[in-house]
Amino acid sequence: MQQKKINGSISYRHSFIDMSNQEVTLGNGDTATTCDAALGYSFAAGTTDGPGSSTFQQGTTSGNPFWDWVKDFISEPTEEQIECQAPKPILLNTGDLTHPYLWDPVTVPISVFQIGKLFILNTPCEFTTMAGRRLREAVRNVLVDAGITDAMVTIAGLTNSYVHYVTTFEEYQAQRYEAASTLYGPHTLQAYIQNFERITRDLLRGESSVTNAAPSDLSDKQVSFLPPVILDRTELFQKFGGVRKQPKGQYSPGEEVKVSFNSANPRNNQRIEDTYLTIDRLGPDGKTWTTVFVDGDWNTKYVWELASESGVSYAHITWSIPEDQESGQYRVCHYGTRKLPFEEGEALLSYVVRLFSWNGASYAAASLFQLSSLFSFSSPDVATSSEYKEFMGCSKTFNIKNVDSASTSTSDWWAVSSFKASLWK
């Protein structure tokens, strides 16, 4: 593919729009509106390459008594909503479901980025091929009207939010998976087209874009069915980050290095933009270590193992040495965060009360078993004053020797020796 250099200015426009109440102008001049969010029967059928429940089929344009009863029990759509979403038979009336928060967004973000003559349309949804073509063509026409005749227009889907699919009006009538997943009704595409035309014109004119208020921050309302981590501990006389299985003394490219550490639950710290492991190489000075691989590299693998319900766990790290890996001295290091039973300054009684209030009697009892195990069998430095504590550990140093290089050197030695011998003949 031929590369093309991009020159020109950089700019953008962003807008929040209420997708449940957009008035659109149709090709014949009539007006229509989008709808409150809803998913149709064919949504549950899945796609051809990823089918869902066999109870449902793609292309369904009518409901059945049983699933209609289930739908109405969850949230019964109004006649206005049914008519607005037609011919989609509503399976989940998500626009009316608000517990513990909205099941689908009302306010969605859209934006356009300009990089020279490249225009990127950022959408929170997946467009079908034809829907995407129509959106790009509409924006391209706006650019042509402004004198930009050679613009490149592309779509970046699933940006900043998620609102399923968008089909054309014609595709919507067939009610396959993508159409049943077009949340805001048959005129969803036209609503996106009109709003992208609007913010693109704003960008070209240097004007601000009209926007709705940003949606509510739901970070503190997220629901998780995972129980919290109560504490982490090690076996008797062991320490966090301690090596359970050391590497061999020497490896060759293509082999695997496997090291195991005493560890803690990785949910304590997801180490975003950080790492659970490093592969380090010793520098020429014999003192400085340089990281060459982390947990995001394809040739490393991190596996966490919960060895005991009382909180003992291990980290197993594997490094597949690349064929072209440079010879030298290496080590494997593990990084983690351990959870302690007490928050700072918290007494044992208040800790027990907190366990009961969070999880009930049965879970608190199990947690207290963990606590008793901690004081009976774990290292004495665990019960410190902070709730979380970082740890790390590194393996012993091992050598990587490039076999090919060694083989080549031997061959060269024999070649030189043979040449010298021939001189004496």
If asked whether residues 213 and 258 sit together in one domain, one would say no
Question: Per-residue pLDDT for 311 more than 50?
Answer: yes
Count: domains in the chain: 2
Cα–Cα dist 18/289, whole Å? 53
Are 332 and 394 in contact by the 8 Å Cβ rule? The answer is: yes
126 annotated ligand binder: yes
Which residue matches tokens 């289930």?
70
Q: Cβ-count burial of 161 within 10 angstroms (0-12 exposed, 13-18 middle, 19+ buried)?
A: middle
Are 77 and 93 in contact by the 8 Å Cβ rule? The answer is: yes
Phi and psi of 21, rounded to 5°? -145, 55
Q: Model confidence at 386, in pLDDT bands (50, 70, 90)?
A: low
If asked whether residues 214 and 254 sit together in one domain, one would say no
251 annotated ligand binder: no
pLDDT of residue 291: 98
Which residue matches tokens 């083989």?
407
Q: Model confidence at 71, in pLDDT bands (50, 70, 90)?
A: confident
pLDDT per residue as tens digits for the range 316-341: 999 999 999 999 999 999 999 999 87
Are 315 and 278 in contact by the 8 Å Cβ rule? The answer is: no
Tokens coding 175 = 């009610």
The CATH number assigned to the domain holding 333 equals 2.60.40.2300
pLDDT of residue 377: 38
Report the share of the chain in percent with pLDDT over 70.
Answer: 84
Question: Per-residue pLDDT for 419 more than 80?
Answer: no
If asked whether residues 212 and 287 sit together in one domain, one would say no
pLDDT of residue 406: 46
Q: Model confidence at 403, in pLDDT bands (50, 70, 90)?
A: low
Does the residue 214 lie in any domain? yes
Tokens coding 279 = 């592969």
If asked whether residues 267 and 374 sit together in one domain, one would say yes
Question: Per-residue pLDDT for 385 more than 70?
Answer: no
Cα–Cα dist 325/323, whole Å? 6
Does the residue 295 lie in any domain? yes
Cα–Cα dist 224/358, whole Å? 13
If asked whether residues 345 and 200 sit together in one domain, one would say no
Are 70 and 98 in contact by the 8 Å Cβ rule? The answer is: no
Are 280 and 329 in contact by the 8 Å Cβ rule? The answer is: no
Q: Cβ-count burial of 116 within 10 angstroms (0-12 exposed, 13-18 middle, 19+ buried)?
A: middle
If asked whether residues 334 and 256 sit together in one domain, one would say yes
290 to 83, 247, 255: CA distances (angstroms)? 64, 19, 21
Question: Per-residue pLDDT for 232 more than 70?
Answer: yes
If asked whether residues 164 and 263 sit together in one domain, one would say no
Give the residue among 123, 251, 103 at the shortest CA–CA distance from 192: 123
The overall longest dimension of the chain from CA atoms, in Å, is 106
Does the residue 236 lie in any domain? no
Does the residue 354 lie in any domain? yes
**Percent helix, percent strand, percent coil in the chain, to nearest 5:** 30, 25, 45
If asked whether residues 196 and 304 sit together in one domain, one would say no
Q: Model confidence at 404, in pLDDT bands (50, 70, 90)?
A: low
Give the residue among 186, 194, 136, 183 at the shortest CA–CA distance from 161: 183
Does the residue 254 lie in any domain? yes
Cα–Cα dist 161/159, whole Å? 6
Are 101 and 221 in contact by the 8 Å Cβ rule? The answer is: yes
Tokens coding 94 = 């998500």
The predicted model gives 269-282 an average pLDDT of 97
Does the residue 212 lie in any domain? yes
Give the residue among 386, 395, 387 at the shortest CA–CA distance from 315: 395
Does the residue 228 lie in any domain? no
If asked whether residues 250 and 366 sit together in one domain, one would say yes
- H helices of 150-218, in order, are 169-174, 177-180, 188-205
* Beta strand residue intervals within 19-106, DSSP E: 23-25, 31-33, 39-40, 90-92
If asked whether residues 399 and 321 sit together in one domain, one would say yes
DSSP labels for 100-124?
SS-SS-SEEEEEEEEETTEEEEE-S
Higher pLDDT pick, 373 / 125 = 125
Give pTM, 2 decimals.
0.69
Question: Per-residue pLDDT for 48 more than 80?
Answer: yes
Does the residue 425 lie in any domain? no
Are 400 and 328 in contact by the 8 Å Cβ rule? The answer is: yes
If asked whether residues 154 and 20 sit together in one domain, one would say yes
The predicted model gives 78-99 an average pLDDT of 96
If asked whether residues 248 and 194 sit together in one domain, one would say no
Domain range spanning residue 70?
10-218
pLDDT of residue 254: 96
Helix/strand/coil (H/E/C) assignment for every residue in 317-370: EEEECCCCCCCEEEEEEEEEEEECCCCCCCCHHHHHHHHHHHHHHHHHHHHHHH
Q: What angle do CA 325, 330, 335 make, to 5 degrees?
A: 115
pLDDT of residue 198: 99
Query: What is the pLDDT of the chain when averaged over all its residues?
Result: 87
